[in-house]
């Protein structure tokens, strides 16, 4: 792997940019690997990267049915924050946030992590109570979060309408200054490049259609559209399709997959300095470095794999955005899309061993997995390499739905469900 640097740019500028090499190679699949990762999104590629860098396991294949980073990694609103209520969540999301800081340097790839601050709005007394509880819980866990008056919120984000007769009055807000955004594609590409350089095989257009198990139940490999590929360890990181893959191994999951939509506006000059989220009216917004407003809507109410959703969901979100930020009422929207998100009953992810020996699963990130990408890959690689969870992901088992030891962010998460 040739290192990217200002000197590399200068060198290539001198010779007509003919010396740039491919960022990752596309080898033919081998007959067998030590580890197979199903799904080449951010989480899967990060897992492969940390298997190689932290655990020295490089005989790894990442199988992707479409193209790398083309699922939810390319469909989210790129918000990064760690202001979750419960200790377990704080542990895993802040682990990720710490890795975001410095990730560009580690990967030698600009992931454009921008800690521009994530603000969450309170519109009623209940919101104030819930969000203040979050501030206190976060601080006890060493996570920065602070309470802002409406005036302070307006100062931090000038487009915000804090008029007392607004349809959704702003009664205060929380601010996590370390929160922000990153460039979603660059995250997938950076991890892919780093993993590929260390010998990991990234195999695109290779759909897993079956999971093979030995008579004793252990995993022996996967059937794919490009033939059988053997491995004693298989990690499923397939987002909305996780339960489909797990069913192939005979494991029924506590998951339901819903469409989640987002949209972007035409690009404009920098007008929006931070990320603003509102649980109550369900809208979140930021401005990308390209200048587009990036707006996230809610999930549709029914199970679907269609990667599309109802227009009324977007309309509801845009209504709220226009009320809170009147300057956007005449902004033209450029495109909208849907991703399929796998939601657990307690809205916390599952990163764990499974009842099947050699089969591991990293799923259930629901509507908010992007922010966790580095942390999720890091602890999932540990889980696969050691056949034992990292202390940070130890609570995120499948068995918690039998024992009742839930991590119930359903009511505590920042977005309405």
Question: Which residues of the shown chain bind other proteins in the complex (CB under 8 A)?
Answer: 241, 243-244, 252-257, 301-306, 308, 310-312, 342, 345, 401-404
Least Cα distance to 84 among 131, 122, 134 occurs for 134
Minimum gap (Å) between residue 240 Cβ and other proteins:
9
Minimum gap (Å) between residue 68 Cβ and other proteins:
21
- The smaller minimum CB distance to other proteins, of residues 258 and 328, is found at 258
Distance CA 188, CA 20 (A): 19
- The smaller minimum CB distance to other proteins, of residues 89 and 344, is found at 344
Distance of CA 13 to the CA centre of its chain: 35
Strand positions, DSSP E, 266-318: 275-278, 283-287, 293-299
Distance CA 88, CA 94 (A): 10
Joined tokens for residue 45 = 């590629």
Distance CA 393, CA 388 (A): 10
DSSP 3-state of 63: strand
- The smaller minimum CB distance to other proteins, of residues 66 and 254, is found at 254
Angle subtended by helix axes 373-386 and 42-53, to nearest 10: 50
Minimum gap (Å) between residue 316 Cβ and other proteins:
10
Angle subtended by helix axes 87-100 and 373-386, to nearest 10: 110
Minimum gap (Å) between residue 356 Cβ and other proteins:
16
Minimum gap (Å) between residue 380 Cβ and other proteins:
21
- The smaller minimum CB distance to other proteins, of residues 88 and 94, is found at 88
- The smaller minimum CB distance to other proteins, of residues 174 and 243, is found at 243
Least Cα distance to 245 among 406, 31, 64 occurs for 64
Q: Backbone phi, then psi, for 295, in 5-degree steps?
A: -125, 130
Distance CA 33, CA 200 (A): 10
Q: Contact at 8 Å (CB) between 342 and 240?
A: yes
Q: How far apart are the first and last CA of the chain?
A: 43
Q: Contact at 8 Å (CB) between 51 and 60?
A: yes
- The smaller minimum CB distance to other proteins, of residues 221 and 364, is found at 364
Angle among Cα 111, 91, 96 to the nearest 5 degrees reads 5
- The smaller minimum CB distance to other proteins, of residues 97 and 211, is found at 211
Minimum gap (Å) between residue 330 Cβ and other proteins:
25
- The smaller minimum CB distance to other proteins, of residues 70 and 291, is found at 70
Minimum gap (Å) between residue 248 Cβ and other proteins:
11
Minimum gap (Å) between residue 303 Cβ and other proteins:
5
Distance CA 64, CA 225 (A): 11
- The smaller minimum CB distance to other proteins, of residues 269 and 403, is found at 403
Radius of gyration of the chain measured on its C-alpha atoms = 21
Minimum gap (Å) between residue 249 Cβ and other proteins:
15
Minimum gap (Å) between residue 141 Cβ and other proteins:
27
- The smaller minimum CB distance to other proteins, of residues 45 and 341, is found at 341
- For residue 408, with 0-12 CB atoms within 10 Å meaning exposed, 13-18 middle and 19 or more buried, which class applies? middle
Distance of CA 118 to the CA centre of its chain: 16
The number of beta carbons lying within 10 Å of the beta carbon of residue 36 is 29
């Amino acid at each position: 792997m040739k290192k990217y640097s200002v000197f590399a740019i200068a060198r290539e500028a001198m010779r007509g940019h003919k010396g740039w090499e491919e960022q990752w190679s596309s080898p033919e699949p081998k007959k067998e690997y030590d580890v197979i990762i199903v799904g080449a999104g951010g989480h899967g590629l990060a897992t492969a990267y940390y298997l190689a860098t932290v655990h020295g396991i490089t005989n790894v294949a990442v199988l992707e049915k479409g193209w790398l980073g083309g699922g939810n990694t390319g469909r989210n609103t790129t918000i990064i924050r760690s202001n979750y209520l419960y200790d377990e969540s704080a542990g895993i999301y802040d682990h990720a946030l710490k890795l975001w800081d410095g990730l560009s340097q580690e990967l030698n790839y600009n992931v454009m992590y921008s800690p521009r601050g994530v603000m969450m709005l309170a519109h009623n007394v209940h919101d104030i109570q819930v969000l203040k509880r979050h501030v206190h819980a976060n601080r006890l866990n060493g996570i920065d979060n602070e309470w802002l008056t409406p005036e302070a919120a307006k100062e931090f984000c000038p487009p915000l309408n804090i008029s007392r007769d607004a349809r959704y009055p702003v009664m205060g807000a929380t601010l996590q200054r370390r929160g922000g955004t990153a460039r979603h594609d660059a995250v997938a590409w950076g991890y892919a490049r780093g993993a590929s350089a260390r010998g990991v095989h990234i195999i695109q257009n290779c759909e897993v259609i079956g999971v093979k198990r030995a008579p004793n139940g252990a995993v022996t490999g996967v059937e794919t559209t490009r033939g059988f590929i053997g491995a004693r360890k298989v990690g499923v990181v397939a987002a909305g399709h996780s339960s489909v893959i797990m069913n192939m191994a005979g494991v029924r999951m506590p998951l339901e997959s819903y469409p989640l939509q987002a949209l972007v506006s035409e690009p404009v000059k920098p007008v929006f300095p931070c990320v603003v989220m509102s649980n109550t009216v369900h809208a979140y917004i930021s401005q990308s470095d390209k200048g587009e407003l990036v707006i996230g809507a809610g999930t549709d109410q029914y199970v679907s794999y269609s990667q599309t959703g109802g227009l009324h969901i977007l309309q509801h979100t845009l209504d709220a955005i226009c009320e809170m930020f009147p300057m956007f009422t005449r902004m033209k929207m450029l495109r909208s899309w849907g991703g399929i998100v796998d939601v657990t009953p307690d809205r916390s992810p599952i990163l764990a061993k499974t009842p099947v020996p050699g089969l591991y699963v990293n799923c259930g990130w629901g509507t908010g997995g992007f922010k966790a990408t580095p942390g999720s890959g890091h602890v999932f690689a540990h889980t696969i390499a050691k056949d034992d969870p990292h202390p940070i992901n130890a609570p995120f088992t499948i068995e918690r739905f039998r024992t009742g030891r839930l991590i119930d962010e359903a009511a505590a998460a920042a977005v309405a469900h």
